[in-house]
Chains A and B, each alone.
Chain A
Amino acid sequence: MISLTVASLVIFFVVEVAPGDPASFMLGVNAQPDTLAALRSELGLDVPKIQRYFVWVGGLLSGDFGTSYTYRTPVSEMIAARMWVSLPLALYALALSTLIAFPAGIYAASRRGEAGDIGVMGATQLGVAVPNFWFAMMLVLIFAINLRWFAAGGFVGWDEGFWAGMHALTLPAIALALPQAAILARVMRSSLLDVLGEDFMRTARAKGLSARQALWRHGLRNALIPVLTIIGLQFSFLLAGSIIIEQVFYLPGLGRLVFQSISARDLIVVESVVMLLVFSVIIVNFVVDLAYAAVDPRLRSRT
């Protein structure tokens, strides 16, 4: 809560310091002073900054994000429309990276030091080093331009049906998921290796479980805590990454909205989108804290 308040203060004042008055930007250099004043009061720019801050935050709390300076439509509507691209994309990528990382990490940990382990670890080193937007371009080159399995960019919209939408988001999600999957697989592996060295794993083996059974029944659950932490931390990178990936695929998501708003000096949209991103990062980390308790009963009493 405190961090949200501070974050909102930081964002508001940082953006408000920006040179360039939105009203004079919209009317151009030849604007008459009285038209300028009229527009400023219409946009609510003529009141003191402090007051505008409280109007903005009050609006945020009640779900009213204000009105876009350039489009004259409610910001919440603009954001909601874009959210339906960005959020499914981030979740799709998160699901993909988990689906790749868990088996890869578990496989590598159970084959520690063998060729399979070295292969997986080498692949993750490479995965971490590849910039996701470059990987996205290569995906477009291979799967959209040469093989024509996917469209090279744009978004059909969910009206075309769920699968059509998912199909359009597949390449971006793969591009976004790759570096995350690499990091996650490494964490999964090292966390499992730590757990495999614990006494209770030896006990599990001693009572007659095979190495495989012990790993699935006792090892995995105990190895999940650090993995969850990283998933939470990665979420902020996923959101940031989606901003860039949206540029590669011309997806009408939050990222494009931000870039358009910056060039149009539509400050209120920039403020609201950034606030929303920060808000979701903080919320996700809070949810991760709650998830600890679900995974590890020992943490329940402490929190």
Chain B
Amino acid sequence: MRRNLIIGGLLTAVFVLAALISFVWTPFDHAALDIPNKLKTPNGTNLLGTDHFGRDILSMIMVGARTSIAVALVAVGIGMGLGIPLGLWAAARSGSWIDELIMRGNDLVFAFPSLVIAILITAIFGAGAVNAIIAIGIFNIPVFARITRGGALSLWQREFILAARVAGKSAARISVEHILPNVTNLLIVQGTIQFSLGILAEAGLSYVGLGAQPPTPSWGRMLADAQTLVSISPHMALMPGLAIILTVLGLNLMGDGLRDYLDPRLRVARL
């Protein structure tokens, strides 16, 4: 299914490009208020229309892509940065108390959905993009720890690992030099999936007011603004929603495509 990889890659590239271009150019200033020009449906000047303050929706979506991508990317980074070492450690000491501790800790974090973590964090530090990152990031840690441990456990049984142990390498060194490169494929695929989940989570958090705060533009908050006006200006809700859907769809397709591309054995058991 190379088709998945290509379509997904293209969709993702469009939004990453939009985010990057927004640093140097947007059709209009995304924050410029133009009240007389408010609630315009899509037209020649404002390609995706304007919102209730007359701001250009296309420009806001482009700048909002920055927020979404940044939040999701850092959250995946946190998840990988802490989850991968924990997973490697648990696999290297499989069956010991440290393995048990790490895996039970994972179960515990899994019992807190990311939104619940976000609510707790907001209750302490207040709402904001950084706290949204932390909430989504914490939720990502057990995901990566689990997948790393799963992949690493089967590798530890292999002959080339035995050879490395005979050569006198420490467990830590084997983990980094031999285990990690062999689970990279798994991690890349999971990374794309968590990235798309991160974008959805960020949108949800911003929507309920726990994510990025004004004036930082965010897709979730654009939808929250649109809610009361949905009967008058459906395009205000439609456009950011489509941006979220297409980005997440692109990332998921890319993840699927990458999985098939990197590991042909998995072709049958596609989820």
Contacts and interface: CB of A to CB of B under 8 A. Distances in A.
Interface of A: 2-3, 6-7, 10-11, 14-15, 17-19, 125-126, 128-131, 133-134, 137-138, 140-141, 145, 186-187, 190, 193-194, 197, 233, 236-237, 239-241, 243-244, 247-248, 258-259, 262, 267, 270, 274, 277-278, 281-282, 285
Determine chain A's interface SS by DSSP, over half rule: helix
A187 B270 CA distance: 9
B166 interface: no
B204 to A, nearest CB: 5
Interface in B91-149: 104, 107-108, 110-116, 119-120, 122-124
B119 A274 contact: yes
Contact of B119 (A138, A233, A248, A270): A270
Contact of A194 (B204, B248, B269): B269
Nearest to A266: B123
B196 to A, nearest CB: 7
Given A14-B120, A240-B116, A278-B116, A187 B111 contact: no
Contacts, number: 124
Nearest to B120: A14
B123 A137 contact: no
Contacts of A137: 223, 226-227, 230, 237, 241
Interface residues of B, number: 41
The 4 closest A-B pairs by CB, nearest first: A240-B113, A240-B115, A129-B248, A134-B241
The B interface is mostly helix, strand or loop, or mixed, namely helix
Contacts of A134: 203, 223, 237, 240-241, 244-245
B76 interface: no
B120 A236 contact: no
Contact of A141 (B104, B231, B270): B231
Contact of B241 (A138, A262, A277): A138
A145 B230 contact: yes
B237 A141 contact: yes
Contacts of B114: 240
Contacts of B110: 233, 236
Contacts of A145: 230-231
A193 B124 contact: no
A6 B104 CA distance: 11
Contacts of A17: 124
A36 to B, nearest CB: 22
7 contacts: A2-B104, A134-B240, A141-B230, A190-B270, A236-B110, A236-B111, A259-B208
Interface string B181-214: 0000000000000001000100110011000000
A7 B111 contact: yes
A191 B170 CA distance: 39
B230 to A, nearest CB: 5
Contact of B253 (A125, A140, A193): A125
B204 A131 contact: yes
A6 to B, nearest CB: 6
